[in-house]
Amino acid sequence: MQTDVAIVGAGPAGTFAALFLAKFGVKCKLIDKQKFPRDKICGDGISGWVLTVLNELDKELLAKLSKQDFLVHSHGMRIVAPNSSILDLPFMDDGSFGAGIPPGFICRRIDFDNFMMEEAKRRPEIEVLEETEINEFRRGKSGIVLNSKNRDVRISAKLVIFASGVNSKFMKEPGGILKDKKFTMTGIRAYYKGVSGCHPQNYVELHFLKGLLPGYFWVFPLPGEMANVGVGLDRHRIGKKKINLKKIMLEAIATNPYLKTRFKDAEMIENIKAWQLPLWDGRRKLSGERFLMAGDAASLVDPVTGEGIGHAAITGMLAAKQARRSLEENDFSSAFMSRYDDRLYKKVGKELDISKKILPFIQYERVFNRVINRASGSKVLKEKLILALTDLEERKKLKNPMLYLKIMLGM
């Protein structure tokens, strides 16, 4: 099979890349080892980054998504400190997405990913190949050749976008990405029904528990009185402290005063499942001759917030734009492809740099409690934290040790 662009992996990064290519009139093959709909273990938050990229792709598609009954509209974040102090931070909402469209969504990934896949299948420029696992690539004279696991599918492409997730063999070769346990998070997730006390505007909840910092326990409300409940922490601390995430999660639900009340009548409706999140640990090259890395395969999950789907959407969009440029210029060299890296880091690089520098501060329980206590009683500090969710200049201030000292001293 011949194609201009082959996309390996049909999660958010892959489908966004395919849909943008279709918008540009570029034919591609979208390949995934599974058949959709398929589950993807995740926190299920669909951030403003996703909405921003969808808005650029197709405003009508964003409006269509916002009306689906498999999601809830989310308008903010609730942070709970180790001492149970609560801070509610509404998301900035300037109405730029249009009437009735919120600043964020929450929905199960099986539903969101299938929604995007169905849109891809509707586009004549996109040929979807499901249940096709690509496990081999080699460079030819005029492109890259991909072979399936059973060697029953062979694809020749001018350019390949690797969007095959955290376990992708292509992260190492050709991607050159080697992961450190300190920057690989293990997350566990279960679906519950009947969790009470969720915010009426469906705030995502991050509970920073004693002994788990800088990791956290989360509750993300879903339709039908359901909630995504889970815990995440980096593998380095899990191994060093011999932490059992499942035990911590169930003990928190059973004994934490705030959570115990809310889970009193709740029922786990699906067994706990685990997965890995490739946290961003620094700038690296994400492209090369005739290939681009996207989504989790590019290791771009925010190390503080766990934001992954938004960055996947951004990489999909930018990868498609780079592919179009390479095809137009007939230039697939490593130097030309590196424009993808430049544009990606220009868009999210500062945000990720700041998150990496903030990470060490949130592991200190006393500092965390004091910040949340002060912010909940200070209109000015609360406004700064709300701005920090979207404003890079405000977020830069959070990496300054003097800010935390001033808070500790009540200044």
- For position 225, what pLDDT does the model report? 94
Domain boundary among 278, 310, 341: 278
| One domain, residues 106 and 19 | yes
pLDDT score at 385 = 63
The whole-number pLDDT of residue 392 equals: 42
Q: What range does the domain containing 61 cover?
A: 2-74+102-178+281-354
Whether 369 maps to a domain, the answer reads yes
Query: DSSP 3-state assignment of 274?
Result: strand
Whether residue 225 is found in the same domain as residue 321: no
Exposure on the CB side of residue 193, measured as CA atoms within 13 A: 6
What are the DSSP calls for 308-376, one per residue?
Answer: -HHHHHHHHHHHHHHHHHHHHHT---HHHHTHHHHHHHHHHHHHHHHHHHHGGGGG-HHHHHHHHHHHH
Strands 144-148 and 154-162, by their bridges, are antiparallel
Are 156 and 57 contained in the same domain? yes
Domain match, 160 and 290 both: yes
- 143 and 246 assigned to the same domain: no
Q: What is the CATH number of the domain that holds 258?
A: 3.30.9.100
193 and 106 together in one domain: no
Mean pLDDT per block of 10 residues along the chain (411 residues) reads 95 98 98 96 92 96 96 94 90 82 95 98 97 92 88 92 94 89 93 97 94 93 97 94 96 95 96 94 94 96 88 97 98 97 94 82 83 75 61 47 41 39
Same domain, 342 and 231: no
> How far apart are alpha carbons 312 and 298 in whole angstroms?
9
16 and 68 housed in the same domain = yes
235 with 285, same domain: the answer is: no
**Are residues 213 and 66 part of one domain?**
no
Number of domains in the chain: 3
